[in-house]
Structure 1
Amino acid sequence: MAHFVQATIYKAGFAWVILMGVAWECVGYATRALSTRNQQDTTIATVTQIFILLAPLWVNAYCYMVLARMIYFFIPERQIGIFKPSLLATVFVLLDFGSFIIQIIGGMSASPGQSNEAAMKGIHIYMAGIGIQQFFIVCFLVLAMQFHRQMLQLERASRLFADKRRWRHLLYALYGSLLFITVRIIYRLVEFSAGQTTDNLIPYHEWYMYVFDAVPMLLAIVVWNVAPPGAVLQGADAKLPPSGLGKLLTFWNCCRSFNPVINDLHPELSLPICIFYLILRGLDTIEDDTSIPLDIKEPLLRDFKTYLDIDGWNYTGNRPEEKDRELLVQFDNVIVEFRKMKPGYAGIVRDVTGRMGGGMADYARKADLGIVGAVTIAEYDLYCWYVAGLVGEGLTRLFVEAGLAETALIEQGLYKPMGLFLQKTNIIRDIREDRDDGRRFWPEEIISRHVGTFDDLFELENRGDALSCSSEMILDALRHVCVVLTYLAGLREQSVFNFCATPQCMAIATLELCFCNPALFDQRLKIAKGDALRLVVEASQGMESVCYVFCRYVGRIEQKIHPGDPCYLGVRDACEEIQRSARNLALESAERVVGRKNEGKALDINEGEPKHQPGAFQDTRSVVGRAASLTGIALLILGIGWLITARWNIA
């Protein structure tokens, strides 16, 4: 009853598992009481034995599910070793179910009324089942201790938000519940290992079962009343993401690289952002296809948002070689999912789609008139706003609508530089590829200060001037960085932070690679895979780590700049301003997380790395010590049981 009330109050739907364990225990002992008045009824005795023997498996499964939710709720990376929460819960619950099948076969074979030979065979099967169950518990405890160690490291690194620091009593409850289940398993092994002869006194004295089975299972259940998971695991993070959210993304080749990012995002936003991305990708596919005549393309772009409300709409007019043609051919599937979205999310997606489609239509008309590329920096900024800035606005509005970001991000317009910085980085990096495809995005206002025409940038005799031009383009992108960092500092939900911080870290690393690099005009530059992997990890480690990343790459840009470059002073000043901003935001983040000033990791601009903090050995020793204590207790109980069994054999 207590578990039912707590599950209702805290809306913990997964508590049905432990409720099943409680119900099975109650049925088992109720039928056992009934059997005292019908001692010759083997049916009642069989029901009693089955329910009492198998009820602990439900409690065991509940422990597995709780730890999976704790990993998802507390760990920023939402993973322990190779196990993501959903995988961990699925694997161990399935293993528990396998043990359940073995035990139920053994329990039924050893039920009253069976021959001695059949009963002993059933006992051996049941003992194998509980032995396997205990082996899985030990494996699970290894993961639980790894979680314990990682949480201690997160506390020391000040990476736990205020609402995610109440993890200890849940983990201790998990340890306690599994310990009590282990006591009960050891008792059953001792009981059945002595056989069914009269030398084995355990089956003939009920107090053994009540002390070593009923009481431990009662404690294993009650410990979760004392520390109810639902009281701590509150909010959207308390729910594991449904499986298969990225099916749409996996289906289309255009989304392969985006699929992992979506799957790791907060479950409340995974589907809305997935659909948002696909809709904008479809819009972009129409805009990019030069084979579509303007009289068809322009209305398609301007009216694209209205197609989202037309069931079964798709578009088959793209040229066959268009990369993302299949997305528009099967766009009716996207519309089906769009119609399932919450009205608040759907309204945001529809609004941004309409505005972006209008902007793309304007540029398509200009291109048809022979106006290629931007002339002024203001036109360049406006183009970047339509193709990327609006995406940043839409995402921010979705974050706020879901309650996962502060409204100040919208009120103060902090979202604007997010998309501009990413788009300008892509335009700088892709200059060679764009030129080969007949596109031009670098503004003439900047190009004319260094060379005569856009094509002159690719002449070897103009390489020095071309590098100076690229320096000014990168300087123009760097002016957005301070606001980008301020935006990231305003994100409070870890998966949303990771989602936004990762591409920004990639962008600053890409700018550093392109800066003063003559190869920029010969090929499309890409950061090394090892560096990219490192950036993904660092971006997921909180605001301080992101600040280290920006300081590291901005410091390298500052070291590359040559005094003879016309942008020398501008680049130097921009780098120094970014470093100051990053340092201040890192310190503010540390103070905010730990709740008091002057605590957290220090930021070392020169090294660009967090200082080493001792204590990992103490964490390991602490966790190992607890494990040794649990093992000692279990061995002590087993030893007592062995001594009792030995004395009975002598008697």
Structure 2
Amino acid sequence: MSKNRSGVLIPCQNELGDDALQSWLLEGVSRTFALTIPRLPEGLAKPVSNAYLLCRIVDTIEDEVSLDNLQKRRFCQQFTRVVAGDDDPAALASELAPLLSAQTISAEHELIRLIPRVIAITHGFDAPQREALSECVRIMGTGMAEFQDRDLRYGVETLAEMNRYCYFVAGVVGEMLTRLFCHYSPEIAAHRERMMELAVSFGQGLQMTNILKDLWDDHARGVCWLPREIFDAAGFDLKHLKPHHNNPRFREGFVQLIGIAHAHLRNALEYTLLIPVHESGMREFCLWALGMAVLTLRKVNGNLDFSESSQVKITRASVKATILTTRVTRSSDTLLKLAFTLAGARLPMASTETARVGSQQV
């Protein structure tokens, strides 16, 4: 055992096997995924855990306050080459780790330090799995860098731009997971084309829910992901956005976005129902994320004057209720549809055409 820079005891990397190491890292950087990924079958849990850690490394680079935009691009490009097997993971870790600031959580410091171990796991997968992970990292890193130089204080210009951002940070993850699912199961692969389309929408529904929930946290750091065209049409200028505003024109635009997110989550349910009933763990993996997103949208929609994300964060009791409900309904498409309808009964919902998001060529 050793201590990190915060004085917390951490296991020596050589003391842990691959699965234990990834579980330990996941627990530090995402309790949600640390909870849901173990529901996946053995043949999927390991690559999905690794995939999330790779994506989190990209997020850590993009969010690091000590790096300028040129450095972020360079490190993302270098990491893309590392994942593809074209660059040295140890060299990246040794250069990047000392640059991380105290604002970056200790678990992410450890993740960056352990890049060589994480990549060694990546390179042990089958070729189709490695390709899925490498392509996801490439698109995510390139796409997120596209937004680094923008003035995002007053939102993005259009809904299409918001869709594009959501694709880079979430939709592409849905595509990657679908590739892993299809590699795992020929039965699932029979629905590959439709699932790839729905996966992008699934990702967007989850990301839009986070954008709406985190509105004021983002606003406090000078960032807004809301599309100006939606609010301009409602007669509200996002330059005037402030907590406790209580402006009905803003609420009109915000409710419209809730409806679009809700429609994407309905696509997420369709995606989940394409997974065979006997793959109960895979269904739970999707349903837990979907259920928690719907409940979050309900809280947002019921508290349109909220001024910080904690006011619309779902409770532990709601999380437990989601888990219990999915376990009861996971084997019945009819019950799942009913549960989803009841959960979202009071939510606005856009048309499926408005919510349709196709794969983007990057």
The TM tier, using the shorter chain, reads 0.7 to 0.9
Give 1:499's match in structure 2, choosing from 271, 277, 285.
285
Correspondence for 2:6 = none
Structure 2 unaligned segments of length 5 or more: list them: 1-16, 356-362
Alignment of structure 1 residues 150-549 onto 2, 5 Å: 245-251=19-25, 253-308=28-83, 309=85, 310-312=88-90, 313-314=92-93, 315-316=96-97, 317-323=99-105, 324-366=108-150, 373-403=155-185, 406-412=188-194, 413-458=197-242, 460=244, 462-492=246-276, 493-524=279-310, 525-540=312-327, 541-542=329-330, 543-549=333-339
Deviations 1:300-330 (A, max 9, x none): 2233221122242412122222122321122
Deviations 1:321-350 (A, max 9, x none): 212232112211111211222222111101
Q: CA deviation at 1:406?
A: 2.2
CA contact (8 A) 2:231 2:253 kept: yes
- The SS at the match of 2:150 is helix
CA distance, structure 2, for counterparts of residue 365 and residue 458 of structure 1: 23
TM-score (norm 1): 0.46
CA contact (8 A) 1:298 1:365 kept: no
Deviations 1:564-586 (A, max 9, x none): xxxxxxx37769xx9xxxxxxxx
Structure 1 unaligned segments of length 5 or more: list them: 1-242, 558-570, 579-651
- The SS at the match of 1:365 is coil
Larger Rg: 1
The amino acid that maps onto 1:387 is V
The amino acid that maps onto 1:432 is W
CA distance, structure 2, for counterparts of residue 573 and residue 380 of structure 1: 16
* C-alpha distance 386-516 of structure 1, shift in aligned 2 (>3 A): same
- The SS at the match of 1:520 is coil
Deviations 1:379-411 (A, max 9, x none): 110110010000000000000011165235431
CA distance, structure 2, for counterparts of residue 385 and residue 278 of structure 1: 18
Q: CA deviation at 1:496?
A: 1.1
CA contact (8 A) 1:375 1:445 kept: yes
CA distance, structure 1, for counterparts of residue 287 and residue 46 of structure 2: 20
The amino acid that maps onto 2:58 is L
Q: RCO greater where, 1 or 2, for CA within 8 Å and sep 6 or more?
A: 2
Q: CA deviation at 1:519?
A: 4.1
CA distance, structure 1, for counterparts of residue 18 and residue 79 of structure 2: 27
Deviations 1:477-502 (A, max 9, x none): 12323322221110012111111111
* C-alpha distance 383-348 of structure 1, shift in aligned 2 (>3 A): same
CA contact (8 A) 2:39 2:282 kept: no
CA distance, structure 1, for counterparts of residue 34 and residue 137 of structure 2: 21
Q: CA deviation at 1:459?
A: 5.4
Alignment of structure 1 residues 539-578 onto 2, 5 Å: 539-540=326-327, 541-542=329-330, 543-557=333-347, 571=348
CA distance, structure 2, for counterparts of residue 371 and residue 530 of structure 1: 35
Q: How many residues get paired? A: 319
Deviations 1:579-628 (A, max 9, x none): xxxxxxxxxxxxxxxxxxxxxxxxxxxxxxxxxxxxxxxxxxxxxxxxxx
CA distance, structure 1, for counterparts of residue 122 and residue 250 of structure 2: 46
CA distance, structure 1, for counterparts of residue 179 and residue 339 of structure 2: 27
CA distance, structure 2, for counterparts of residue 354 and residue 409 of structure 1: 25
CA distance, structure 1, for counterparts of residue 264 and residue 190 of structure 2: 18
* C-alpha distance 550-455 of structure 1, shift in aligned 2 (>3 A): farther
The amino acid that maps onto 2:213 is R
* C-alpha distance 306-460 of structure 1, shift in aligned 2 (>3 A): closer
CA contact (8 A) 1:375 1:444 kept: yes
The amino acid that maps onto 1:340 is G
Q: CA deviation at 1:352?
A: 1.2
* C-alpha distance 245-574 of structure 1, shift in aligned 2 (>3 A): same
CA RMSD between the two structures: 2.5
Identity of aligned residues (%): 24
CA contact (8 A) 2:259 2:350 kept: no
